Amino acid sequence: MPSQIKGPALFLAQFAGDAAPFNSLKSLTEWAAGLGYKGVQIPTFDGRLFDLDKAATSQTYCDEVKGICADSGVEITELSTHLQGQLVAVNPAYNEQFDAFAPPSVHGNPTARTEWAIDQVKKAAVAARRLGLKHTVGFTGSLAFPFLYPWPQRPAGLIEEAFAELGRRWTPILNHYRDNGVDIGFEIHPGEDTFDGATWEMFLDAVKGNEAAMINYDPSHFVLQQLDYLAFIDLYHDRINAFHVKDAEFNPDGRQGVYSGYQSWTNRAGRFRSLGDGQVDFAAIFSKLTQYGYDSWAVLEWECCIKSPEQGAAEGAPFIEAHLIEVAGKAFDDFAGGSVDQGQIKRMLGL
């Protein structure tokens, strides 16, 4: 019996480049399929791989994209709007850094940049529908994150207003997704206002529990926060629509801990690693997701600061394949059972 979790799949964002085979959707998907991947998650923000504006208006183009992937031997798992979603809400402290995610025409103009980002994220819902997808993934953006640490003392109402504004911005977008029969899995990620379970609940309250608001589960971000990533599944499994398979490690010492002292990724106590090189218990994760009925894709997101992307991708496909679980078709103790005998049951209970 096949696994109910589909995979292995690969998020293409970190592999796209200007040299072959990484510079076109055709050659990159052929490369991924050659490594054993059966699905690809497509970044809608990389024009070398995907034209979001065209996909939102042309069924012919979407059919061509599906055909390219099918000819390579892979399916499209989800569309990613991480960078555009980040720009839906940007605290002024990040204006200079996040302008790089937007076209030059809106640089230095936060209002225009936000409008552009919202339009982009909405277009992804239409494109996903045209591609026959049910799920997308992305970020919420952040208004409150610079005030993460409660010193200096935060003014009363600051965090509440930040999440209320997130609700005002995201509710129309989520309604648009719902109307297109698509949802969006927000990656629970430091740097976003939704970075753990508590903030996810605050966001979900702000959008009034909108059914299109889902979770892209990535345990690596929880290792770096020292959050229980298995208990997270127990709490929020009904909202998980996507799964980034990414490893990480946390090695605190006398010099640094969770905040990692402004060090580079290589020198941080908490850092991302290639699959199998970190501390994440993927056997437990795949078991728990299977237990709760997760039936979408397991997608490798590679962000290791030590190993090359090519080696990480080559090792990632068999790693995911080895963790897929063939769901049991019967109970292990069925051999010891028998037919139902109501008389026997009553006698055993003294009834």
Every domain of the chain and the residues it spans: 6-349
Helices 282-291 & 309-323 angle (0-180, nearest 10): 50
What confidence tens digit (pLDDT) does each residue in 28-69 have?
999 999 999 999 999 999 999 999 999 999 999 999 999 999
Task: Please state, rounded to an integer, the average pLDDT across all residues of the chain.
Answer: 96
How many CA atoms are closer than 13 Å to the CA of 279, on its beta-carbon side?
A: 16
pLDDT value of position 334: 62
pLDDT value of position 183: 98
Q: Rounded mean pLDDT of 334-341? A: 71
Beta-bridge partner residues of 83 = none
- Answer whether 230's CB lies under 8 Å from 286's CB: no
Say how far apart CA 315 and CA 85 lie, in whole Å.
30
The enclosing H or E element of 60 equals helix 59-72
**DSSP secondary structure, 228-272, as one string:** -HHHHHHHHGGGEEEEEE-EEEE---SS--TTGGG--GGG-SEEE
Per the structure block, which two tokens stand in for 187?
Answer: 């990656």
C-alpha distances in angstroms, 199 versus 80, 84, 169, 186, 334? 21, 20, 16, 12, 44
Q: What is the chain's Cα-based Rg? A: 22
Fill in the amino acid letter for 108.
G
What confidence tens digit (pLDDT) does each residue in 173-201 have?
999 999 999 999 999 999 999 999 999 99
The enclosing H or E element of 66 equals helix 59-72
- Answer whether 231's CB lies under 8 Å from 256's CB: no
Q: How confident is the model at residue 316 (pLDDT cuts 50, 70, 90)?
A: very high
CA proximity to 126, closest of 59, 187, 50: 59
Kindly report the CATH number that applies to the domain delimited by 6-349: 3.20.20.150
What confidence tens digit (pLDDT) does each residue in 201-240 have?
999 999 999 999 999 999 999 999 999 999 999 999 999 9
pLDDT value of position 338: 67
Q: How confident is the model at residue 328 (pLDDT cuts 50, 70, 90)?
A: confident
pLDDT value of position 196: 98
